[in-house]
């Protein structure tokens, strides 16, 4: 009985040591297993301790605790040359006190490696056989293995299996975390995570490249740092946090880089619950400055007359249609339409050439631009014909402007290649009417007024 109590005490001490090493966080998983093997060696009084990984007929020493220059981690063996093959076949604890007096006499492990005493058990990870945990020695053990030893061996195998299982989960989590960090950090889009107060939680490398600030300069700071002004910041903030949590938000903002360069960015994001921060917002961001500039150039080309840089006929007509619709909604609104035609322009082209004619057209367009208010719209209708829309302007005030332009044209001399050119302009003027079906009606009246100005001697303003 006293011997049995000592054995149980030794077993409990060994189990306590196992529990203690399992809680140590500053040693690697391999060293944790090695310490467990050292506890097992001490308990059984044997020289070698091994955690093996077995796949098919391949036996690999995962971790070992052994005399110097005998075994090493990762050492391969043929499964058939080990006692562990029998351990897996019986799927239970295999205990050999002295192989020379057992039924395993002549076993390859004794013949090839001179191992006389052995005890081992299968390790299972996620219900699948992983390998074995085993202890052995070149000398026979002085005590016969008993049921208590077998139970302790099973406990060791379960402990090792549980440890490897936990480690497998941790490895998977670590791999998943590493993969996420790789994807997050090296994403082609800029990514930013902000809390409900627009404080920056984290950003990736691409976002820093887009905005010109380092991660240290951004994390913990407010997103106001890269907005142009308070108005644009507050507008963006309201849009972000007034959006349904289940919805994705797609926005386009102009931001200010650290070097004060303005850039256009497309934001796609949604609200998320983020531990420790409550409601947060994650954004994927693309720098669309180049595309935006290209789009603006294309839109400008689509709406602008190439020669004069005034609005082209198509865009001018669409704006006139808007004014006609406004008159129909509000009878009290007043909008005037002016049409211009350069007098005897064909003669300039025929005698001085088209390049000179183009120079004259651009000069007249510049006169119109100088006389435009912010709300006015000017366009080249075709050839030497131009037009202006004057919102919120009655015929009397429109006529004053028309005459001012006419006088400026007739009083100026255009000099080209040493040649002085004088020209005049005829002008037709009308007001948009509630009864106008569309812009064609207004164009027709202004054109009739222009015809009258031409017929009455040119260089004059006529109203219709």
For 207-240, write each residue's pLDDT tens digit. Answer: 999 999 999 999 999 999 999 999 988 888 887 7
Residue 55 banded pLDDT, cuts 50, 70, 90: very high
Nearest-angstrom CA–CA distance, 379 and 389: 9
Q: Note the pLDDT of residue 44.
A: 93
How high is the mean pLDDT of the chain? Answer: 90
Q: Range with the lowest mean pLDDT among 131-135, 414-418, 455-459?
A: 414-418
Which residue segments constitute the domains of the chain, with CATH numbers given? 2-177 (3.30.450.40), 190-292 (3.30.450.20), 304-463 (3.30.70.270)
Question: In the numeric block, which tokens belong to residue 335?
Answer: 């909008």
Q: Note the pLDDT of residue 60.
A: 97
How are beta strands 461-463 and 425-431 bridged, if at all? parallel
The model's pLDDT over 168-202, given as tens digits with 9 standing for 90+, comes to 888 888 888 888 888 888 888 999 999 888 899 99
How are beta strands 262-274 and 278-287 bridged, if at all? antiparallel
Q: Note the pLDDT of residue 150.
A: 93
The model's pLDDT over 405-441, given as tens digits with 9 standing for 90+, comes to 999 999 998 888 888 899 999 999 999 999 888 999 9
Q: Note the pLDDT of residue 2.
A: 47
More confident of the two residues 136 and 246? 136
Sheet containing 335-342: order of strands: 377-382, 385-391, 335-342, 425-431, 461-463
Residue 244 banded pLDDT, cuts 50, 70, 90: low
Q: Note the pLDDT of residue 183.
A: 86
State the DSSP string of 159-194. HHHHHHHHHHHHHHHHHHHHHHHHHHHT-SSEEEEE
Q: Note the pLDDT of residue 411.
A: 93
Q: Give me the mean pLDDT over the 40-65 stretch.
A: 96
Handedness of CA 417, 423, 428, 431 (dihedral sign): positive
Residue that the structure tokens 């490398």 belong to: 205
DSSP three-state, residue 138:
coil
Q: Range with the lowest mean pLDDT among 64-68, 221-225, 328-332?
A: 328-332
Residue 365 banded pLDDT, cuts 50, 70, 90: very high
350: exposed, middle or buried (Cβ count in 10 Å: 0-12, 13-18, 19+): exposed
Q: Note the pLDDT of residue 25.
A: 61
Contact 442, 324 (CB under 8 A): yes
Q: Note the pLDDT of residue 446.
A: 96
> Could you give the percent of the chain with pLDDT greater than 90?
67
Biggest distance spanned by C-alpha atoms of the chain? 137
Q: Measuring CA to CA, which residue among 269, 249, 253 is closest to residue 211?
A: 253
CA 56 to chain centre: 45
Residue 293 banded pLDDT, cuts 50, 70, 90: confident
Nearest-angstrom CA–CA distance, 326 and 131: 84
Q: Where are the beta strands (DSSP E) in 199-311?
A: 200-203, 249-256, 262-274, 278-287
Q: Note the pLDDT of residue 168.
A: 85
DSSP three-state, residue 154:
helix
Q: Give me the mean pLDDT over the 276-292 stretch.
A: 85
- Which of 144, 384, 408, 462 is flagged as catalytic? 384
Q: Give me the mean pLDDT over the 324-338 stretch.
A: 91
Active-site residue, 384 included: yes
> pTM (2 decimals)?
0.52
């Amino acid at each position: 009985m006293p011997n049995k109590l000592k054995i149980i005490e030794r077993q409990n001490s060994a189990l306590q040591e196992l529990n203690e090493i399992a809680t140590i966080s500053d040693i690697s998983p391999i060293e944790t297993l090695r310490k467990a093997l050292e506890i097992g060696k001490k308990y059984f009084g044997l020289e070698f301790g091994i955690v093996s990984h077995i796949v098919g007929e391949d036996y690999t020493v995962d971790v070992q605790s052994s005399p110097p220059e005998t075994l090493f981690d990762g050492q391969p063996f043929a499964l058939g040359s080990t006692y562990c093959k029998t351990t897996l076949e019986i799927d239970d604890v295999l205990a050999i006190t002295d192989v020379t007096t057992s039924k395993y006499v002549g076993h390859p492990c004794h013949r090839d490696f001179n191992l006389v005493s052995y005890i081992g058990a299968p390790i299972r990870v996620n219900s699948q056989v992983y390998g074995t945990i085993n202890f052995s020695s070149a000398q026979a053990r002085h005590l016969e293995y008993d049921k208590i030893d077998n139970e302790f061996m099973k406990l060791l195998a379960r402990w090792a299996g549980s440890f490897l299982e936990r480690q497998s989960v941790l490895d998977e989590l670590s791999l998943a975390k590493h993969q996420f960090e790789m994807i997050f950090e090296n994403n082609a889009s800029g990514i930013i995570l902000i809390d409900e107060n627009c404080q920056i939680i984290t950003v990736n490398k691409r976002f820093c490249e887009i905005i010109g600030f380092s991660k240290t300069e951004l994390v913990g700071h407010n997103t106001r740092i890269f907005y142009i002004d308070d108005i644009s910041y507050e507008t963006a903030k309201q849009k972000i946090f007034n959006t349904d949590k289940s919805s994705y938000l797609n926005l386009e903002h102009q931001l200010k880089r650290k070097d004060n360069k303005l850039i256009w960015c497309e934001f796609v994001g949604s609200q998320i619950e983020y531990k420790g921060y409550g409601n947060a917002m994650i954004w994927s961001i693309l720098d669309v400055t180049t595309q935006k500039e290209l789009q603006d150039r294309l839109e400008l080309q689509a709406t602008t007359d190439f020669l004069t840089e005034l609005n082209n006929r198509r865009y001018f007509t669409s704006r006139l249609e808007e004014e006609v619709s406004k008159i129909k909604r509000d009878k009290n609104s007043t909008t005037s339409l002016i049409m211009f035609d350069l007098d005897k322009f064909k003669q300039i082209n025929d005698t001085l050439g088209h390049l000179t004619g183009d120079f004259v057209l651009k000069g007249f367009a510049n006169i119109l631009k100088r006389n435009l208010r912010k709300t006015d719209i000017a366009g080249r209708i075709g050839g030497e014909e131009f037009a202006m829309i004057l919102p919120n302007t009655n015929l009397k005030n429109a006529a004053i402007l028309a005459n001012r332009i006419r006088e400026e044209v007739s009083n100026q001399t255009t000099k080209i290649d040493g040649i002085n050119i004088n020209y005049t302009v005829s002008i037709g003027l009308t007001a948009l009417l509630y009864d106008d079906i569309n812009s064609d009606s207004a164009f027709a009246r202004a054109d009739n007024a222009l015809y009258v100005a031409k017929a009455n001697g040119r260089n004059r303003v006529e109203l219709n």
